[in-house]
Structure 1
Amino acid sequence: MKFQPGGIYHIYNRGNNREPIFFNKDNYRYFLGKMRKHLLPHADVLAWCLMPNHYHWLVRVKDGAIGARLAQDLGTFFSSYTRAIQKQETRTGSLFQQQYQAKELASPEYLLQCFCYVHQNPLRAALEAEPGTWPWSSFRDYTGLRSGQLCARPLAAELLDLPADPVEMRCLLLQTLPDGAGALLY
Protein backbone atom coordinates (compact mmCIF):
# COMPACT_ATOMS: atom_id res chain seq x y z
CA MET A 1 0.00 0.00 0.00
CA LYS A 2 1.29 3.44 -0.88
CA PHE A 3 0.23 5.90 1.78
CA GLN A 4 0.42 9.56 0.80
CA PRO A 5 1.06 12.38 3.29
CA GLY A 6 -2.23 14.17 3.91
CA GLY A 7 -4.20 11.22 2.56
CA ILE A 8 -7.19 9.92 4.51
CA TYR A 9 -7.63 6.15 4.64
CA HIS A 10 -10.09 3.58 5.90
CA ILE A 11 -7.86 0.76 7.18
CA TYR A 12 -9.49 -2.52 8.12
CA ASN A 13 -9.12 -6.26 8.37
CA ARG A 14 -10.85 -9.23 9.92
CA GLY A 15 -9.95 -12.55 11.43
CA ASN A 16 -9.09 -15.49 9.23
CA ASN A 17 -12.29 -17.44 8.48
CA ARG A 18 -14.09 -14.58 10.27
CA GLU A 19 -12.81 -15.94 13.57
CA PRO A 20 -12.09 -13.69 16.56
CA ILE A 21 -8.99 -11.55 16.75
CA PHE A 22 -9.80 -10.41 20.29
CA PHE A 23 -10.41 -13.00 23.01
CA ASN A 24 -10.54 -10.84 26.15
CA LYS A 25 -10.36 -7.23 27.33
CA ASP A 26 -6.59 -7.36 27.62
CA ASN A 27 -6.35 -8.15 23.90
CA TYR A 28 -8.29 -5.00 23.05
CA ARG A 29 -6.07 -2.95 25.37
CA TYR A 30 -2.90 -4.49 23.93
CA PHE A 31 -4.09 -3.71 20.38
CA LEU A 32 -4.79 -0.08 21.34
CA GLY A 33 -1.32 0.19 22.86
CA LYS A 34 0.17 -1.10 19.63
CA MET A 35 -1.85 1.48 17.71
CA ARG A 36 -0.26 4.21 19.81
CA LYS A 37 3.22 2.82 19.23
CA HIS A 38 3.08 1.93 15.53
CA LEU A 39 0.35 4.09 14.01
CA LEU A 40 0.39 7.44 15.83
CA PRO A 41 3.93 8.43 14.81
CA HIS A 42 2.75 8.39 11.18
CA ALA A 43 -0.97 9.13 11.19
CA ASP A 44 -3.71 10.91 13.09
CA VAL A 45 -6.60 8.66 14.07
CA LEU A 46 -9.94 10.22 13.21
CA ALA A 47 -12.10 7.25 14.25
CA TRP A 48 -11.65 3.65 15.33
CA CYS A 49 -13.69 0.61 16.26
CA LEU A 50 -12.49 -2.78 17.43
CA MET A 51 -14.95 -5.63 17.00
CA PRO A 52 -14.51 -9.23 18.16
CA ASN A 53 -13.43 -10.42 14.70
CA HIS A 54 -12.39 -7.24 12.87
CA TYR A 55 -11.34 -3.63 13.23
CA HIS A 56 -11.80 -0.29 11.44
CA TRP A 57 -9.57 2.76 11.52
CA LEU A 58 -10.11 6.08 9.83
CA VAL A 59 -6.76 7.86 9.68
CA ARG A 60 -5.08 10.85 8.08
CA VAL A 61 -1.42 10.37 7.22
CA LYS A 62 0.63 13.14 8.79
CA ASP A 63 2.27 15.73 6.58
CA GLY A 64 5.90 14.75 6.19
CA ALA A 65 5.22 11.10 6.99
CA ILE A 66 6.93 8.52 4.84
CA GLY A 67 4.28 6.15 3.47
CA ALA A 68 6.70 3.23 3.18
CA ARG A 69 7.67 3.61 6.83
CA LEU A 70 4.00 3.59 7.88
CA ALA A 71 3.38 0.42 5.85
CA GLN A 72 6.46 -1.19 7.43
CA ASP A 73 5.38 -0.26 10.96
CA LEU A 74 1.88 -1.60 10.31
CA GLY A 75 3.42 -4.88 9.17
CA THR A 76 5.39 -5.02 12.43
CA PHE A 77 2.24 -4.14 14.40
CA PHE A 78 0.15 -6.95 12.95
CA SER A 79 2.93 -9.54 13.03
CA SER A 80 3.67 -8.91 16.68
CA TYR A 81 -0.03 -8.84 17.61
CA THR A 82 -0.53 -12.14 15.77
CA ARG A 83 2.41 -13.74 17.61
CA ALA A 84 1.02 -12.60 20.98
CA ILE A 85 -2.41 -14.08 20.22
CA GLN A 86 -0.88 -17.31 18.89
CA LYS A 87 1.06 -17.68 22.14
CA GLN A 88 -1.96 -16.79 24.30
CA GLU A 89 -4.34 -19.12 22.47
CA THR A 90 -1.75 -21.86 21.81
CA ARG A 91 -2.43 -21.80 18.11
CA THR A 92 -0.60 -21.48 14.83
CA GLY A 93 -1.44 -20.07 11.43
CA SER A 94 -2.89 -16.82 10.24
CA LEU A 95 -4.83 -14.66 12.66
CA PHE A 96 -5.95 -12.22 9.99
CA GLN A 97 -7.74 -13.09 6.76
CA GLN A 98 -5.21 -11.21 4.67
CA GLN A 99 -2.89 -8.25 4.84
CA TYR A 100 -4.71 -5.18 6.11
CA GLN A 101 -6.71 -3.27 3.53
CA ALA A 102 -6.59 0.49 3.09
CA LYS A 103 -8.90 2.56 0.93
CA GLU A 104 -8.16 6.21 0.35
CA LEU A 105 -11.20 8.42 0.88
CA ALA A 106 -10.85 11.48 -1.31
CA SER A 107 -14.47 12.64 -1.22
CA PRO A 108 -15.71 14.59 1.84
CA GLU A 109 -19.05 12.78 1.46
CA TYR A 110 -17.42 9.34 1.72
CA LEU A 111 -15.25 10.55 4.58
CA LEU A 112 -18.29 11.50 6.67
CA GLN A 113 -20.08 8.26 5.73
CA CYS A 114 -17.03 6.24 6.78
CA PHE A 115 -16.78 8.17 10.04
CA CYS A 116 -20.40 7.29 10.88
CA TYR A 117 -20.09 3.73 9.55
CA VAL A 118 -17.10 3.00 11.79
CA HIS A 119 -18.99 4.20 14.85
CA GLN A 120 -22.16 2.28 13.98
CA ASN A 121 -20.40 -1.11 13.79
CA PRO A 122 -21.37 -2.37 17.27
CA LEU A 123 -25.02 -1.57 16.58
CA ARG A 124 -24.97 -3.14 13.12
CA ALA A 125 -23.46 -6.31 14.59
CA ALA A 126 -26.01 -6.29 17.45
CA LEU A 127 -23.23 -6.36 20.04
CA GLU A 128 -24.89 -3.56 21.96
CA ALA A 129 -28.31 -1.98 21.92
CA GLU A 130 -26.82 1.42 22.79
CA PRO A 131 -23.64 2.55 20.98
CA GLY A 132 -22.29 4.41 24.00
CA THR A 133 -21.93 1.16 25.92
CA TRP A 134 -19.39 -0.44 23.53
CA PRO A 135 -16.01 0.50 25.03
CA TRP A 136 -13.85 -0.41 22.02
CA SER A 137 -14.72 2.50 19.76
CA SER A 138 -14.14 6.23 19.58
CA PHE A 139 -17.93 6.81 19.76
CA ARG A 140 -17.68 7.53 23.50
CA ASP A 141 -14.91 10.07 22.96
CA TYR A 142 -16.87 12.03 20.39
CA THR A 143 -20.09 12.05 22.41
CA GLY A 144 -18.54 13.21 25.69
CA LEU A 145 -18.83 9.88 27.54
CA ARG A 146 -15.06 9.45 27.76
CA SER A 147 -12.06 11.68 27.18
CA GLY A 148 -9.76 9.28 25.33
CA GLN A 149 -6.56 10.56 23.80
CA LEU A 150 -6.23 8.24 20.78
CA CYS A 151 -8.30 10.31 18.34
CA ALA A 152 -7.26 13.65 16.91
CA ARG A 153 -10.71 15.09 17.61
CA PRO A 154 -9.86 18.72 16.72
CA LEU A 155 -8.53 17.60 13.33
CA ALA A 156 -11.61 15.42 12.72
CA ALA A 157 -13.87 18.33 13.70
CA GLU A 158 -12.07 20.55 11.20
CA LEU A 159 -12.03 18.03 8.34
CA LEU A 160 -15.64 16.90 8.83
CA ASP A 161 -17.20 20.08 10.21
CA LEU A 162 -18.34 18.13 13.27
CA PRO A 163 -20.69 19.63 15.85
CA ALA A 164 -19.19 20.55 19.22
CA ASP A 165 -22.33 19.64 21.15
CA PRO A 166 -22.23 15.95 22.28
CA VAL A 167 -25.97 15.50 21.68
CA GLU A 168 -25.68 16.80 18.12
CA MET A 169 -22.61 14.62 17.62
CA ARG A 170 -24.53 11.54 18.77
CA CYS A 171 -27.30 12.32 16.28
CA LEU A 172 -24.74 12.75 13.51
CA LEU A 173 -23.00 9.46 14.31
CA LEU A 174 -26.28 7.56 14.34
CA GLN A 175 -27.66 9.06 11.14
CA THR A 176 -29.01 6.63 8.59
CA LEU A 177 -26.42 5.95 5.93
CA PRO A 178 -27.39 5.64 2.27
CA ASP A 179 -28.02 2.13 0.97
CA GLY A 180 -24.76 0.64 -0.20
CA ALA A 181 -22.62 3.10 1.74
CA GLY A 182 -20.51 0.27 3.13
CA ALA A 183 -19.60 -0.90 -0.37
CA LEU A 184 -18.14 2.52 -1.18
CA LEU A 185 -15.87 2.43 1.84
CA TYR A 186 -14.10 -0.85 1.06
Structure 2
Amino acid sequence: MQFEVSNLYHIYNRGNNKQPIFFNRDNYLYFLTKVKKHIQPNCDILAWCLMPNHFHFLLHANIATVKIVKENPIEINALTEGIRLLLSSYTQGINKQNNTTGNLFQQKTKSKCITDGDKNYGYTTFQYTHQNPFKANLVRRLEDWEFSSFADYAGLRNGRLCNKALAFSLFAINEKTFLSDSYKELPDDLLKKIF
Protein backbone atom coordinates (compact mmCIF):
# COMPACT_ATOMS: atom_id res chain seq x y z
CA MET A 1 0.00 0.00 0.00
CA GLN A 2 1.20 3.47 -0.82
CA PHE A 3 0.64 6.37 1.57
CA GLU A 4 1.42 10.09 1.42
CA VAL A 5 1.97 12.32 4.44
CA SER A 6 -1.10 14.34 5.49
CA ASN A 7 -3.54 12.27 3.45
CA LEU A 8 -6.55 10.48 4.97
CA TYR A 9 -7.13 6.78 4.38
CA HIS A 10 -10.05 4.44 4.93
CA ILE A 11 -8.54 1.04 5.77
CA TYR A 12 -10.80 -1.99 5.94
CA ASN A 13 -10.86 -5.76 5.63
CA ARG A 14 -13.20 -8.60 6.48
CA GLY A 15 -13.15 -12.27 7.30
CA ASN A 16 -12.30 -14.75 4.58
CA ASN A 17 -15.58 -15.76 2.91
CA LYS A 18 -17.25 -13.07 5.08
CA GLN A 19 -16.80 -15.30 8.13
CA PRO A 20 -16.42 -13.92 11.67
CA ILE A 21 -13.06 -12.61 12.79
CA PHE A 22 -14.08 -11.97 16.40
CA PHE A 23 -15.60 -14.82 18.41
CA ASN A 24 -15.79 -13.32 21.89
CA ARG A 25 -15.08 -10.08 23.77
CA ASP A 26 -11.48 -11.09 24.51
CA ASN A 27 -10.82 -11.39 20.75
CA TYR A 28 -11.81 -7.74 20.21
CA LEU A 29 -9.56 -6.66 23.09
CA TYR A 30 -6.69 -8.79 21.80
CA PHE A 31 -7.03 -7.20 18.34
CA LEU A 32 -6.93 -3.74 19.91
CA THR A 33 -3.66 -4.57 21.73
CA LYS A 34 -2.25 -5.49 18.32
CA VAL A 35 -3.54 -2.21 16.86
CA LYS A 36 -1.82 -0.30 19.65
CA LYS A 37 1.45 -2.12 18.96
CA HIS A 38 1.49 -2.23 15.14
CA ILE A 39 -0.74 0.60 13.83
CA GLN A 40 -0.81 3.46 16.34
CA PRO A 41 2.96 4.16 16.19
CA ASN A 42 2.79 4.46 12.39
CA CYS A 43 -0.04 6.98 11.82
CA ASP A 44 -2.73 9.06 13.50
CA ILE A 45 -5.82 6.96 14.08
CA LEU A 46 -8.87 9.20 13.75
CA ALA A 47 -11.68 6.62 14.05
CA TRP A 48 -12.08 2.86 14.25
CA CYS A 49 -14.77 0.22 14.49
CA LEU A 50 -14.50 -3.53 14.92
CA MET A 51 -17.47 -5.54 13.68
CA PRO A 52 -18.04 -9.29 14.04
CA ASN A 53 -16.69 -10.04 10.56
CA HIS A 54 -14.82 -6.87 9.49
CA PHE A 55 -13.11 -3.69 10.65
CA HIS A 56 -12.75 -0.05 9.62
CA PHE A 57 -10.04 2.50 10.38
CA LEU A 58 -9.82 6.14 9.39
CA LEU A 59 -6.13 7.05 9.42
CA HIS A 60 -4.10 10.20 8.85
CA ALA A 61 -0.68 9.51 7.35
CA ASN A 62 2.32 11.16 9.00
CA ILE A 63 6.11 10.93 8.68
CA ALA A 64 6.18 7.60 10.55
CA THR A 65 3.67 6.15 8.06
CA VAL A 66 5.90 6.49 5.01
CA LYS A 67 9.18 5.45 6.62
CA ILE A 68 10.66 2.56 4.62
CA VAL A 69 11.16 -0.45 6.90
CA LYS A 70 11.96 -3.11 4.29
CA GLU A 71 13.70 -2.74 0.94
CA ASN A 72 14.06 -6.22 -0.54
CA PRO A 73 12.54 -7.32 -2.82
CA ILE A 74 10.37 -4.16 -2.76
CA GLU A 75 10.14 -1.10 -0.52
CA ILE A 76 7.58 -1.47 2.25
CA ASN A 77 6.50 1.45 4.43
CA ALA A 78 5.92 1.27 8.18
CA LEU A 79 2.12 1.36 8.05
CA THR A 80 1.86 -1.37 5.42
CA GLU A 81 4.18 -3.55 7.48
CA GLY A 82 2.21 -2.69 10.62
CA ILE A 83 -1.06 -3.79 9.00
CA ARG A 84 0.59 -7.03 7.87
CA LEU A 85 1.92 -7.73 11.37
CA LEU A 86 -1.44 -6.87 12.95
CA LEU A 87 -3.38 -9.28 10.76
CA SER A 88 -0.85 -12.11 10.76
CA SER A 89 -0.25 -12.06 14.52
CA TYR A 90 -3.97 -11.80 15.26
CA THR A 91 -4.70 -14.68 12.86
CA GLN A 92 -2.09 -16.84 14.59
CA GLY A 93 -3.73 -16.17 17.94
CA ILE A 94 -7.24 -16.96 16.66
CA ASN A 95 -6.07 -20.10 14.86
CA LYS A 96 -4.49 -21.29 18.09
CA GLN A 97 -7.65 -20.44 20.07
CA ASN A 98 -9.97 -22.19 17.59
CA ASN A 99 -7.58 -25.02 16.68
CA THR A 100 -7.77 -23.98 13.01
CA THR A 101 -5.32 -23.16 10.24
CA GLY A 102 -5.25 -20.85 7.25
CA ASN A 103 -6.28 -17.30 6.46
CA LEU A 104 -8.70 -15.50 8.72
CA PHE A 105 -8.86 -12.33 6.59
CA GLN A 106 -9.37 -11.70 2.89
CA GLN A 107 -6.06 -11.52 1.09
CA LYS A 108 -5.94 -7.79 0.38
CA THR A 109 -6.65 -5.16 2.97
CA LYS A 110 -8.31 -2.22 1.25
CA SER A 111 -6.82 1.25 1.50
CA LYS A 112 -8.79 4.12 -0.02
CA CYS A 113 -7.29 7.60 -0.05
CA ILE A 114 -10.15 9.94 0.78
CA THR A 115 -8.24 13.21 0.84
CA ASP A 116 -8.72 13.94 -2.86
CA GLY A 117 -11.94 15.59 -3.87
CA ASP A 118 -14.69 16.88 -1.62
CA LYS A 119 -13.63 17.84 1.90
CA ASN A 120 -16.59 15.85 3.29
CA TYR A 121 -15.03 12.46 2.45
CA GLY A 122 -13.06 12.37 5.69
CA TYR A 123 -16.01 13.41 7.83
CA THR A 124 -18.27 10.96 5.97
CA THR A 125 -15.82 8.13 6.67
CA PHE A 126 -15.60 9.23 10.31
CA GLN A 127 -19.40 9.11 10.69
CA TYR A 128 -19.80 5.93 8.63
CA THR A 129 -17.22 4.13 10.76
CA HIS A 130 -19.10 4.96 13.94
CA GLN A 131 -22.55 4.26 12.48
CA ASN A 132 -21.60 0.75 11.32
CA PRO A 133 -22.89 -1.28 14.32
CA PHE A 134 -26.06 0.82 14.49
CA LYS A 135 -26.80 0.35 10.77
CA ALA A 136 -26.14 -3.40 11.16
CA ASN A 137 -28.71 -3.55 13.99
CA LEU A 138 -26.12 -4.77 16.50
CA VAL A 139 -27.12 -1.98 18.90
CA ARG A 140 -30.03 0.42 19.35
CA ARG A 141 -27.73 3.37 20.07
CA LEU A 142 -24.27 4.20 18.74
CA GLU A 143 -23.01 4.65 22.28
CA ASP A 144 -23.85 1.01 23.12
CA TRP A 145 -21.23 -0.53 20.81
CA GLU A 146 -18.08 -1.10 22.85
CA PHE A 147 -15.73 -1.77 19.97
CA SER A 148 -15.45 1.57 18.23
CA SER A 149 -13.97 4.97 18.95
CA PHE A 150 -17.45 6.50 19.20
CA ALA A 151 -17.54 6.26 23.02
CA ASP A 152 -14.24 8.14 23.21
CA TYR A 153 -15.54 11.04 21.14
CA ALA A 154 -18.84 11.05 23.02
CA GLY A 155 -16.94 11.43 26.31
CA LEU A 156 -18.13 8.06 27.63
CA ARG A 157 -14.67 6.50 27.75
CA ASN A 158 -11.11 7.75 27.88
CA GLY A 159 -9.69 5.72 25.01
CA ARG A 160 -6.21 6.54 23.77
CA LEU A 161 -6.00 5.02 20.31
CA CYS A 162 -7.34 8.07 18.47
CA ASN A 163 -5.81 11.47 17.94
CA LYS A 164 -9.05 13.21 18.87
CA ALA A 165 -7.58 16.71 18.73
CA LEU A 166 -6.55 16.16 15.11
CA ALA A 167 -9.98 14.74 14.20
CA PHE A 168 -11.78 17.68 15.82
CA SER A 169 -9.54 20.03 13.88
CA LEU A 170 -9.74 18.27 10.49
CA PHE A 171 -13.49 17.73 10.52
CA ALA A 172 -14.60 20.81 12.48
CA ILE A 173 -16.51 18.55 14.88
CA ASN A 174 -18.74 20.41 17.31
CA GLU A 175 -18.36 18.72 20.69
CA LYS A 176 -21.70 20.11 21.89
CA THR A 177 -23.69 18.61 19.00
CA PHE A 178 -21.48 15.56 18.41
CA LEU A 179 -24.02 13.03 19.67
CA SER A 180 -26.98 14.29 17.64
CA ASP A 181 -24.81 14.93 14.56
CA SER A 182 -23.60 11.31 14.70
CA TYR A 183 -27.09 9.98 13.95
CA LYS A 184 -27.58 12.01 10.77
CA GLU A 185 -28.15 10.05 7.58
CA LEU A 186 -25.12 10.03 5.29
CA PRO A 187 -25.62 10.86 1.59
CA ASP A 188 -25.30 7.83 -0.70
CA ASP A 189 -23.20 9.76 -3.22
CA LEU A 190 -20.57 10.48 -0.57
CA LEU A 191 -20.66 6.93 0.83
CA LYS A 192 -19.77 5.56 -2.60
CA LYS A 193 -16.61 7.68 -2.62
CA ILE A 194 -15.12 6.24 0.58
CA PHE A 195 -14.71 2.67 -0.72
Question: How many aligned positions are there?
Answer: 184
Q: Answer yes or no: is 1:185 the counterpart of 2:178.
A: no
| Structure-2 separation of matches of 1:19 and 1:172 | 32
Distance 2:38 2:146 in 1: 21
Residue correspondence of structure 1 range 29-48 to structure 2 within 5 A:
29-48=29-48
Match of 1:130 in 2: 141
**What does the per-residue CA deviation read over 1:1-38, in whole Å, with 9 as the maximum and x for residues that have no partner?**
11112121000000011110001111101111111111
Cα deviation per residue 1:19-67 (whole Å; 9 max; x = unaligned)?
1000111110111111111111111110000000000000101235325
Once the two structures are aligned, what percentage of the paired residues are identical?
Answer: 43
Residue 64 and residue 83 in structure 1: after superposition, are their counterparts in 2 closer, same or farther (change >3 A)? closer
What is the match of residue 2 of structure 1? 2
What displacement does 1:72 show?
Answer: 1.3
Q: TM-score, normalised by structure 2?
A: 0.90
Aligned partner of 1:143: which letter?
A: A
1:69 is matched with 78
Letter in 2 for 1:173: S
Q: What secondary structure does 1:10 align onto?
A: strand
> What displacement does 1:171 show?
1.6
Say what the alpha-carbon RMSD is for the aligned residues. 1.2
* Aligned residue among 159, 167, 172 for 2:170: 159
How far did residue 94 of structure 1 move? Answer: 1.3
Question: Within 1, Cα distance between the matches of 2:58 and 2:64?
Answer: 19
Unaligned runs of 5+ in 2: 68-76
Aligned equivalents of 1:54, 1:182: Cα separation in 2? 17
Q: SS of the counterpart of 1:147?
A: coil
Structure 1, unaligned runs of 5 or more: none
